[in-house]
Structure 1
């Protein structure tokens, strides 16, 4: 059983995780033999968290309850509050999870938190454009410039990073990492939602019948 945890913090950028959470929950395009998974929200406590869009979410569990294994995937959304000290606990958990072979998927502001912790110093990654991490990280904490890739989203084994405008590609890489869609379904899904062209919708529907 794969467990996907979505970290909740104040001002969470709702739209950045929308594509991936919708597919993980609905399972509407999963291949018949897709691995079993469960999705849980996680936070410092079980107190309600308000997103940037004004939605209130009650966490399913706390950080201490995260299962540390190769079958764990942790999603770190963007937010305006990543610099607050209480988020240090999830970053420590992130580092430990990566060392155990689990997967971490960070987007937008969450990449700053990873960079500040040195996690991006020696791994291919992306963020919100060249110079963004240097601008927002603590002086001297980020040394991964040579590993920065100027793409909407980047996968490096068990670490997937995305920019604020790369949430759809980031979602595609997460779905691919989890092995949830058939390859042709995933390609048609991404093509349709990134272009809106009807031929990709029909290809998506057809892929489900094969």
Structure 2
């Protein structure tokens, strides 16, 4: 069983985690023997937050409720409010998870928060450009490990640029092993290209169609 903790904060970029949270929550394309996945919305308090799109989200739990082990996954979305000191606690929790074998996925502004805490200095990663990390994090020392791709996986850390949400989702789903490989390929190709052939290929890979 995996527990997926989705961190929410004001000005959260609605679209960046949309693909992965939708698939993990519904399980609509899961393989027959997929592990159980539970999503929990977490924040620094149980007060509601307002996303960039104006939607209100109420957390299920707080940072102290996160269980740190190999079956925990922490997803950190982009937002314009990562500089607020109250979010430092979730980055500390991310560090604990990485050290114990849990997985962390971070996109856009969340990668800057990781950089500010030195978590990208020794791992391959990406963001909105190496110059972006230099600009927002004076202590950042991971330039030599920066990879100019939409999303980069380095063992149990996955980072993505603001345009890398789909590939980030694919890499998280692959890490969890909840899709058959051919399902994941067809799913990614369909949403990446919009070509109908991949939609029908996706449908053919599902357990009820085999």
TM-score by length of 2: 0.98
Equivalences for 1:39-118 in 2 at 5 Å?
39-118=39-118
| Count of equivalent residues | 208
Match of 2:132 in 1: 132
Deviation at 1:130, TM superposition (A): 3.1
Secondary structure of 2:15's aligned partner = helix
Given that 2:75 and 2:106 are in contact with CA atoms closer than 8 Å, whether structure 1 keeps it comes out as yes
Deviation at 1:176, TM superposition (A): 0.4
Deviation at 1:131, TM superposition (A): 1.0
Residue matched to 1:181:
179
- The CA deviation at 1:132 is 1.1
SS at 1:16 equivalent: coil
Match of 1:153 in 2: 151
Q: What's the CA shift for 1:37?
A: 1.2
Structure 2's unaligned 5+ residue stretches are none
Inter-partner Cα distance in structure 2 for 1:45 and 1:129: 31
Match of 1:143 among 118, 138, 141: 141
What is the aligned partner in structure 2 of residue 4 from structure 1? Answer: 4
Structure 1 match to 2:23: 23
Write the distance in 1 (CA, Å) between the matches of 2:83 and 2:45: 18
Where does the alignment leave 5 or more consecutive residues of structure 1 unmatched? none
CA contact (8 A) 2:78 2:109 kept: yes
Q: Which residue of structure 2 aligns with residue 166 of structure 1?
A: 164
1:25 Cα deviation from its structure 2 partner: 0.9
Deviation string, structure 1 residues 32-61 (Cα, Å, up to 9, x no partner): 100011000000111111111111011000
1:205 alignment partner in structure 2 = 203
TM superposition score normalised by structure 1 = 0.98
Shift of 1:136: 1.2
Q: CA RMSD in A?
A: 0.7
Structure 1 equivalent of residue 34 of structure 2: 34
Task: Describe the superposition over 1:77-120 as per-residue Cα deviations: whole angstroms up to 9, x where unpaired.
Answer: 00000011000110111111111111100000000000010000
Any idea what SS the aligned residue of 1:68 has?
coil
Q: CA deviation at 1:129?
A: 1.8
CA contact (8 A) 2:4 2:37 kept: yes
